[in-house]
Copies of this chain bind each other. A is one copy, B any other.
Amino acid sequence: MSLCVNTWINMGRWEADAAGRFRAAAMELFSEIGYEQTTVSAIAERAGLTARTFFRHFADKREVLFDGTERLQQLMVDSLSQAPAEASPLDAVAAAIRKAGDFFDDERRPFSRLRAVVIAAHPDLHERELIKLARLSGALAAALRTRGVEEPDASLAAEAGIAVFRIAFAQWVAESEVRGYEEILTRSLARLKALTAH
């Protein structure tokens, strides 16, 4: 694993709370000694906190990588639900995946990059990521149905949106990528429209 841990020196808002300190400590250790070798005690020691406190925030070390999932899903579903009534299904989904940009800012990028490296190296984490995306797609389709969109349109728009989201996100965490999430996403959405136009 070649990601430099110096990116962690300025943790900003994450240093303020225990969960953030555990997260930073865990990511440092995943990067330095690998995911398997990292124990909860080592994470707690590095964070200057106790293992007991760790378990108040996370069920296990894997949860450090996935604990933002539910908040992200809620953020996206809310954003879809609040899209103007006249927005097309795809535009409502686009509003939701654009809103995810509140999560994926420059401060979070080093965490997201390292997380992507760890997940790519572990099939069980990759599976969990797939399940998470499938759930997210299901939640967006349900929110579209609540707006009166019928099937299969609701599922198709949600799945197409998740495809755009996933590919934009993969680009955003790529090491050589300098563009921000919103710029990449706008481009991906435009490409989807171009690809399906003929």
Seen from chain A, the residues whose Cβ lies within 8 Å of a Cβ on chain B are 88-90, 127, 130-131, 134, 152-153, 155-157, 159-160, 162-164, 166-168, 170-171, 188, 191-193, 195-198
Contacts and interface: CB of A to CB of B under 8 A. Distances in A.
A134 B128 CA distance: 12
Given A156-B188, A156-B192, 7 more contacts: A153-B195, A156-B163, A156-B191, A160-B160, A160-B163, A160-B192, A196-B196
B130 A195 contact: no
Contacts of A90: 195-196, 198
Chain A contact residues: over half helix, strand or loop, or mixed? helix
26 contacts: A88-B195, A88-B198, A89-B195, A90-B196, A90-B198, A127-B127, A127-B130, A130-B131, A130-B134, A152-B167, A152-B188, A152-B191, A153-B195, A155-B167, A155-B170, A156-B163, A156-B167, A156-B192, A157-B195, A159-B167, A160-B160, A160-B163, A160-B192, A163-B163, A193-B197, A196-B196
A159 B198 CA distance: 17
A190 to B, nearest CB: 10
Contacts of A167: 152, 155-156, 159
Contacts of A197: 193, 196-197
